[in-house]
Amino acid sequence: MKIAVDAMGGDFAPAAVVAGAVDAARHLQGIERLVLVGDETAVRRELAAQRGRIPSNVEICHAAEAIGMEEPPVQAVRRKKDSSINRAIDLVKNGAAHGMISAGNTGAVVVSATLKLRTLAGIDRPAIATVMPTPRKPFVLIDAGANTDCSARMLVQFAMMGTLYAREILGCANPLIGLMSVGTEDSKGNETTKEAFKLLQESPMLNFRGNIEGHDLFEGEIDVAVCDGFVGNVILKTSESVAHAVGHWIKQEFRRNPVRLAGTVLLSGALRSMRAKMNPEMYGGAPLLGANGVCIISHGASSPRAIYHAIRVARDSVKLNLNEHIIRAVGESHVS
């Protein structure tokens, strides 16, 4: 198995990406080769900075350009033909790699994958599936940010892909699907979700619970939360923001009260273990499901550890043949 790694993507690239990739090449079983895609000089410099011998299964594929985190995706993908994102996707397209990962400009990865790889049969647009932790069990959020404007049909396709992903990755036998809305009654929602609600109800292959609200997300009941990429992105980032604010608040409360001050050390320890458990790095990257090829998107602020886990997710996605499962499931349904 060969995985392409966008060496220039992410806030700490290429250093963090190269470090994580070298670690994966050394320790992740089942990966034959890792291809670092990016500026050869820069990548070589980072490789030289690694401790110990560079594993022989790491190679470099030169790409002269890099797409910045803030560049408008469509224009950047079209203009920078020789960017690391485009080159990594090309490797997947040509069969030179079984999958790719990037911590770079998410929009650019989505656009490049959609243009070059196309979507799987029956899928209108690919969607990002993210695993989110709750105190009881994790759930899959789809779409976490690939498509800001979605049709009802796309939402149903997301539900189908999310179901397959939850089955393979979270091990749920019959994943329970919730449609993000503003109330649990059938009549609640916007025009698109109301239409999607009917279509989801009519899909015999899906275990559809109905509408869910923000309240229900972290209760640990549903396995898949379906929404458009705008709402998904808001959920993802608001959750991170609130979790951070609450930790900060509790610390403030401890510091303010002399009796509680004594417990600050205990609190810091508890916050640390909670963060470790909530850590998105552990879940590695989020797959762009529905693209005709394995593409894993990692957080822009990815550490070497996050890159390592993103490569693990890429390996697992290839091994599990996720795309074949999706094609078969969509073919058997009537949503395409």
Our CB check for a copy of itself shows the closer of 81 and 272 to be 272
Of 49, 266, 282, 301, the one binding a copy of itself (CB under 8 A) is 266
Q: Is 176 in the site for a copy of itself (CB under 8 A)?
A: no
- Binding piece for a copy of itself, criterion CB under 8 A, among 3-11, 52-60, 142-150, 152-160: 142-150
Residue 303 has, within 13 A of its CA and on its CB side, a CA count of 6
* Contact (Cβ atoms closer than 8 angstroms) between residue 94 and residue 70: no
Cβ of residue 255: shortest distance to a copy of itself, in angstroms?
Answer: 10
Question: Radius of gyration over alpha carbons of the chain, in Å?
Answer: 21
Our CB check for a copy of itself shows the closer of 86 and 181 to be 181
Residues 202-261 that bind a copy of itself (CB under 8 A): 213-219, 228-231, 233-250, 252-254, 257, 259-260
Of 96, 121, 270, 282, the one binding a copy of itself (CB under 8 A) is 270
H or E stretch covering 219: none
Q: List, in order, residues 6 or more apart from 40 with CB less than 8 Å away.
A: 60, 62
Rounded Cα gap, residues 1 and 321, in angstroms: 13
Helices (H), 80-228: 84-93, 106-117, 152-165, 191-201, 214-217
Our CB check for a copy of itself shows the closer of 224 and 322 to be 224
Of 8, 20, 7, nearest in space to 312 by CA = 20
Q: Is 131 in the site for a copy of itself (CB under 8 A)?
A: no
Our CB check for a copy of itself shows the closer of 121 and 245 to be 245
Compute how many residues bind a copy of itself; rule: CB under 8 A: 62
**Amino acid, res. 72:** P
As given in the structure block, the two tokens for residue 310 are 């993103």
Q: Dihedral of CA 309/2/7/297: which sign?
A: negative
**Chain residues that interact with a copy of itself, rule: CB under 8 A:** 70, 72, 134-135, 145, 148-149, 180-182, 185, 187, 189-191, 193, 213-219, 228-231, 233-250, 252-254, 257, 259-260, 262-263, 266-267, 269-271, 273-274, 277-278
